[in-house]
Amino acid sequence: MKQPALTRSVNLKILIVVIAAFCCSSAAYAHHSFALFDRGKLTTLNGTVREWKWANPHTWLTVVVRKANGADEEWALVGSSPNMMVRWGWNAADIKAGDKVMVDIHPARDGKTIGQLQTVFLPGGKVLADPAGQPGEALAGGPTNLPTKPQGELYK
């Protein structure tokens, strides 16, 4: 039996994108590369939005963070699909370039300036949580117990 093409492609160690969240096991995880991001770690970025890309299969939030030494650093943050985010109260127009945001992310394991979105705190006080990895009941039912302030370790 031949190894199917799909399986071959995943053997390439590059960021593979996926279409949907894997719901439902108690250890439910996001639909992104499992190896790339540290789900056990939460980091808070304080920065300015450079781009907000609202498209399938993933949204991408690009944020520029000014570090303690004055240097600007660009972070690429991957989010769920718009379809799932809409069901959790997101709107494409919620975020725009220039917005000052605080973002809780699961950072890359290897220290690259990329991450997986967890929660976005907008200047007006609106809080948007990414439904990635949530069980089916929560995907269908919407978010509960949203944090009011960032929960991660502030990145400097």
Partner 1 sequence: MARLLCGCVCSLVALILTAQPRDARAAPAPQSKEVQAQAWRAIASLPDLWQGTWQSVSPIADDFPTPPDYTPSALDYIKTYKPVEDSPFANCKPLGLPFLMNIGGMPMKFFQSPGMIALYVESSGMTRFIHTDGRQHSERPNPTYLGESIGHWEGDTLVVDSTGFAPDTLFQMGKLDPKTLAQGDPSPLSGVIFGQHGPNLRLVERMRLADFNTLEIQTTIYDDTVFKRPYSLPARKYIRGIDRRNEPQEWACTDNRDYFDQATGKVEYNVKDKAQSR
Handedness of CA 20, 121, 42, 137 (dihedral sign): negative
Closest distance of CB 48 from partner 1, Å: 17
State both tokens at 7: 């399986």
**Residue 41 binds to partner 1 (criterion: CB under 8 A):** no
Q: Identify which of residues 55 and 149 has a Cβ nearer to partner 1 in the complex.
A: 55
Total residues at the site for partner 1 (CB under 8 A)?
58
Contacts of 5 by beta carbon, 8 Å cutoff, 6+ apart: none
Ranges within 66-85 binding partner 1 (CB under 8 A): 76, 78, 80-81, 83-84
- The DSSP code for 94 is G
Candidates 48, 72, 104, 114; binder of partner 1 (CB under 8 A) is 114
CB burial string 88-104: b at 16+ within 10 A, e below: bebeeebbeeebebbbb
**Residue 58 binds to partner 1 (criterion: CB under 8 A):** yes
- The DSSP code for 96 is -
Binding residues (CB under 8 A) for partner 1: these are 1-7, 9-25, 27-29, 31-35, 39, 53, 55-58, 60, 62, 76, 78, 80-81, 83-84, 86-87, 112-114, 135-137, 139-142
